[in-house]
Structure 1
Amino acid sequence: MFRHRSAKLAVTVQPADDFMPTPRAAQRAWWLQRAGEELVDDLMHLDVLSTGLVAGSDRPAIAGGWRDSDAHYAADELIIEGQQVMQDWEAPLMRAMAAQVAASGGDVLEIGFGMGISATYMQDMGIRSYTVLEANEDVAEAFAHWQSGFPDATTTLILGPWQETLPTLGLYDGIFFDTYPADEDEFMRYVVDDVTFAAHFFPHAAAHLRPGGVFSYYSNEIDSLSRRHQRRLLEHFSSFSVEVVRDLLPPEDCHYWWSNSMAVVRAVK
């Protein structure tokens, strides 16, 4: 059994007798103690972080399709189906993730064009080619306008859900995943119920990276990676490193992020 009690938190873990049947009881007790202490530490850390969040606002349900849904671009955000798909406060985050996948100067694949923030950073960093998979037709039109600003660059958009278009493609030096759920089922399965939205893309990223290639993605982690997040990464990549982008400024009504920092992952095949 593990038990913790303090002024703000009480935790008891009482496993069944046949749970975690280690060869010796001392091994089981040690594992339970470590896991329990980590749980308490995580909860206490979240208690500290909770005082620094913006209030946010409720996200409307995704009602329609995605490919032919209207995309509304403002100076500071992209809205599709009432969803805040991207906002300009993410620029420092996009720069950090773009730097990971563009570091080799090679061929880069991005899933989701959004506002073109990361795509612009990658062009400025100098890459051999840029390919983006985009499911929304209006966003594809925005890409065409963006593309005209880089006449000497090798840039390609492939229209359609990545699940349909990715299998037709080859290998890349860097892959960046920062798309948005296309319906409520995706949102619940991969954002709410999974470790991070990008986790279901991990095996696909690994399959389309050259040896030593780099994968990065919107992590939904404030300042570190959970153990289950790390395990999922190591199922598909040889190693990973993490940096934290701080001083982010999501607006008070942001649907999808409320902290002033986010962990950026560099996963290597």
Structure 2
Amino acid sequence: MNARPPVRRPRLFVSNVVSRRPGARRFHDAVTMLSNSLVQSASGSWDVTWAFAEDDGSARTLDRARDADAIILMGGEDISPDLYGVAPGYPGEGPHWRRADLAQIALARFAVADGVPLLGVCRGLQILAVALGGNLVEDVDVPGHRSATFLDDHRLARHDVLVEASSMLARGIPRREGGAGGPDPGGRLRLRVHSAHHQAVADPGPHLVVSATAPDGTVEGVEHPAAPVLGVQWHPEDPEADPAGLRALLGLLREGREGAIGMSGAGRARPVLV
């Protein structure tokens, strides 16, 4: 009689930038608030590893992520500008954590190469683009993407995004008649999001496609056409956002992992994801 494979919960590797930010308490508190919210939401159905790329470096980050069923790259500081070919000194530039940048770039490339589902959130989307040959707008010059009071009140900006109906991302949008997820006249799906960013993707590079934009043209979503890898510029983990949005994106990660398992070699005993 063949033994049934062990049943386990899927493993989610959540990569943050750094565990401590001396001299930047308000920013650290805001980033931690968002990470806490995501981990709390995911922990109901995932075993979550909460990691810090600056602390761990590239080798340890990759080693810790190798048995993950899915990966999330969280928000944080700007990426070191030389990594996408521009000079420092742009408007709004803050501190950089280069060790974290390199570790998360390596993590994004690993996910694409191995077919591990990955979601990039805000900076995480930008990491994904830079990792795969894209570049960034150093300072977004259109209003509405960030709140001047965010570090004080943790209230993010609100704006619409338009999602391509044929995209992987579109499958992760809760549909409501006359509301979020409803189509615009061009057939794209309209979604109200919460955001806090002063940079964005300028060119996603040769390996990603744009899946969502703001009405002003700012890139808000990218995805890989041949791997379960995507990024969103907004913060679905914001505690004030509709929790159905984050649940749906976590569902996409699970769907991607189950698809990857289904394409794996036959005859190998694999744990069942519950």
Q: TM-score normalized by structure 2?
A: 0.32
User: Which protein is bigger by CA-based radius of gyration?
Assistant: 1
Of structures 1 and 2, the one with the larger relative CO (CA 8 A, separation 6+) is 2
